[in-house]
Chain A
Amino acid sequence: MKKYTFTEKKDTRSGFGAGLSELGKSNPNVVALCADLTGSLKMDAFAKDHPERFFQIGIAEANMIGIAAGLTIGGKIPFTGTFANFSTGRVYDQIRQSVAYSGKNVKICASHAGLTLGEDGATHQILEDLGLMKMLPGMVVINPCDFNQTKAATIAIAAYEGPVYLRFGRPTVPNFTPADQKFEIGKAVMLNEGTDVTIFATGHLVWKAIEAGEQLAAQGISAEIINIHTIKPLDNSAVINSAKKTRCVVTAEEHQMNGGLGDSIAQLLARELPTPIEMVAVNDSFGESGTPDQLMTKYGLDAVNIVEAVNKVLKRK
């Protein structure tokens, strides 16, 4: 098992803020919109440095999506920022008609996704956003794993022409991705080559997959670990090639099982290469108040749950 280390834990939302700041300096067409959560989204630096290109919309997310769509007419590249719940479910029809169907170059950037939002509880802990967004034709869906990768993804999506959903979160997590690693939309990242099982993980579950890989190595199990930062378009060949080699698969994500990464991988493998698969995800349930760690444990999204899933899927080979 390849050894991964990190010097500090950082939040992915700060990676977004850092990426946006850099874009502010490098690309005059980048504009940012926020619905009264500038601090939470770490958009303050952009707002301070580029007040003419920062639009404080107020608590009106539907209006924000529409204004973003309009700003593209005239060559701007709008980045909208609010919590994941208000970035997707609340404004689904606005995104569907004014952004996705209209083919507008809007970057919908969403923080505080999933259970790790913590104490605010289920009203804010959206676990359905990846599914909602990936169903929209033409929408790119990205869920990076740490600060560095979120920063790189933020910069990369400005150079891509078309609608993108970028999901990140609130808690600090190990920042282990090399700062100079290029972010390629739709290209999976091989973290550890293995032979017995493949773990496909996304977002905050990537580090947990690495921890699970270490525990499995101690048990003599060789796990291949792949970071799927882009849910759509899925890196089909990376998934198929790895599944061919290991012949069993575990998926891990901070999202509902319905509609998430596991669902995408299962769909692909069912068509191309039927393979035993287990999914570490929230199973048709809302979250609740608690600390992020408590919630990840209660809802079965820890390294130990990945290890259990691996042991289960190995028996099905």
Chain B
Amino acid sequence: MALYFFTPFIAIILTILGGGIIFYILGFNPIEALKFYFITPISNLYGFSELLLKATPLCLIAIGLSYCFKSNNWNIGAEGQLTFGAIVGGGVALLFYNQEGFYILPLVILAGAIGGMIFALIPAILKTYFNTNEILVSLMLVYVSKLILDYLVVGPWSNPEGFNFPETRQFSDSSRMPLLFEGLRIHAGIFLALAAVMLSWFILYKTYLGFQIKVSGLSLKTAKYAGFKGKTMILVVFMISGACAGLAGVGEITGPIGQLHRMISPDYGFTAIIVAFLGRLNPFGIIFASLVVALTYLGAETAQIFLQIPKYTGQVFQGMILFFLLASDYLLIFKVKILSLKKNELRH
């Protein structure tokens, strides 16, 4: 059991080693490259604040996903729920354009969470009542949400003074996340992520719902035998998951971006799947995992700026982390045994 929580660290160490080898093959000094990758980005206050900024949406989404994954519900469409949450939240922000009021930002955030929740309910309802595959439905809905966003920012919501460029107006200050420090971009959204972590720890480990989720994840048949209402639980975990993704989306648009356009998320919804597993679907583990994965984004930028290492190594690192994690899990669960074939078996 202790090893179970230890494998993520093994995976990270293997990723760093693997990364070093790749850098060496590419002709870079591996130690120097790794330093630019993992240390330089966070060597000052600004860099560290950017790390937290980047980790916030990843952490939020991954927390939400952990409910689904723990209970054997494969919600792959967090990116879509993030987008739809941003659409609904952004819509409210535009509705209150140029208005003052302390209530506006909470309304915008709430709208974002509800938007994500509604969008996650679609695969959940289809799964519970029509037996569809939630992996496919939630994944395909990602494209639907992106097309809706495209339509809105090109058409009805585009900035009237923006020469038809596909973007909305900049939100007014009343619907922007308050900044925590002057001159840094880190915003109040990080408290949403931390609150989600605390609340999730409580729900997952201290409530009946959490117990249901755990049992369903371990064995659906047992859950049924115990008389758990499977359908309600599926709906609830999808709603929580969607709400978290929606919050992440609304945090991005009311935080660093400040408007709606077509590129609100560099696929956070998909990367968060890696974060969720690297964090062992444990709320506190996810905090740690979101920081590690956020660092691969920042590191890729720094490595390109200082050493001109292609930025795509960031995605290679993310892929390697997941690969090594799954591989070490596999080796942890199964025992490798080399079988030698006996001579008489070969004759057949």
Asked if A pairs with B, the answer is no
Interface residues of A (CB under 8 A from B): none
